[in-house]
Amino acid sequence: MNNSSLLGPWIRRFLIEYLVGERNLAINTQRSYRDMLMLLLPYLAAKVNKRIDRLTVDDLSAQMVRLFLTHMEEQRHCTVSTRNQRLGGIHALARFIGEHAPEYVDWWAQIHLIPVKRTSRPEISYLSRQEMDALLAASDVNTAQGQREHALLLFMFNSGARASEAAQLKIGDVDWHTRSVSIVGKGNRHRRCPLWKSTLDALRSQSEGRAADAPVFLNRFHQTMTRSGIHALVKRCAIRAAANAPSLAGKNVHPHVIRHTTASLLLQAGVDINTIRGWLGHVSLETTNIYAEINLETKARALATCEVEGSAEGQKQWRDQPDLLTFLRTL
């Protein structure tokens, strides 16, 4: 067995050369690939009765990949979207190996033929302006902890930042003169967002006396907030806010819901979709268009502009037009 047939060295190259070197993917995306491999390799080793370090590329056959995906759905009870995400990682690994080793081109083609499953688009949840106001008012700003909570929630609502983006925000990223902030998003892509004066004041209160490279948001132990810490904070505030906004009790409020809320309220305010795309840091406009599709208020306004005034009486109906079929045949 030569080293080029072993799967382990290929995986190491894939993680270092492709994910980091070529794609420069965000750390959370890299962890997603890692998690996929940590599930796949033990499963594959057990199926072919080998140690993980002795697995070969040929052991990862298309049939084995299909069995692994079935195992993910039936034994681990993963959703179809999770199953497709794992398959996407396997497709990327197979493509990397096939592009660097011509002898595995046919193997790569077989893996590539495994299709993703169709899945319904998950419903996007967002808050009304009244619910968002209640969430912002849920913290006692007379306490240091309440001030930290309020500053974080206000910043996330203002900027539409993801939890990871808020966690890694540095004091030096805030431009106090232009009232804007530079946010590092997925793939290390930078975007700049304007800030309200209230947001700027809240961030200043959290930043005074600290260095420019220090994180803006700290927890109660004065340590950098983590994504999980931000998730827990948002949920705590949502539970308190439900006392003044009962509709929140039936919603799963998390940081991404605040991001969805920012996009939806910008859309309702008449901000064009391309500006919202830049505001949120979406690479594709198709991602931002989701908000236009689910926003009922915007749909209602669009429908109102198309409404036909007056009665339909006296107007010629389609069924009364004898030349309709003739017209359709000309299309």
Delimit the domains of the chain by residue range.
3-112, 129-305
3-state secondary structure of 102: helix
Q: Residue 31's closest CA among 227, 323, 266, 251? A: 227
Hey, do 3-112 and 129-305 end up sharing a CATH topology, with the first three levels equal?
A: no
Q: Is 162 a catalytic residue?
A: yes
Among 186, 204, 231, 254, the one annotated catalytic: 186
Confidence band, pLDDT 50/70/90 cuts, at residue 122: low
Q: Is 126 a catalytic residue?
A: no
State pTM to two decimals.
0.67
What tokens does 214 get?
């220090």
Position 267 scores a pLDDT of 83
Among 33, 104, 126, 291, the one annotated catalytic: 291
DSSP 14: I
Among 162, 191, 260, 277, the one annotated catalytic: 162
Position 309 scores a pLDDT of 53
Among 148, 150, 277, 282, the one annotated catalytic: 282
> What is the mean predicted confidence (pLDDT) over 232-260?
94
User: In the predicted model, is pLDDT for residue 10 greater than 60?
Assistant: yes
**The CATH number of domain 3-112 is 3.40.190:** no
> Cα–Cα distance between 171 and 176 in angstroms, integer?
10
Position 302 scores a pLDDT of 47
Among 86, 148, 259, 260, the one annotated catalytic: 259
- Write down the H helix ranges in the chain: 7-13, 27-48, 62-74, 80-100, 105-112, 129-136, 144-159, 163-167, 197-207, 227-241, 255-268, 273-280, 285-294, 296-306, 324-329
**Please, what's the largest Cα pairwise distance for the chain?**
85
User: In the predicted model, is pLDDT for residue 7 greater than 60?
Assistant: yes
Q: Is 291 a catalytic residue?
A: yes
- CATH top class, domain 129-305: mainly alpha
Position 270 scores a pLDDT of 81
DSSP 137: T
Rg over alpha carbons for the chain, rounded to the nearest Å, is 26
Position 296 scores a pLDDT of 53
Q: Is 117 a catalytic residue?
A: no
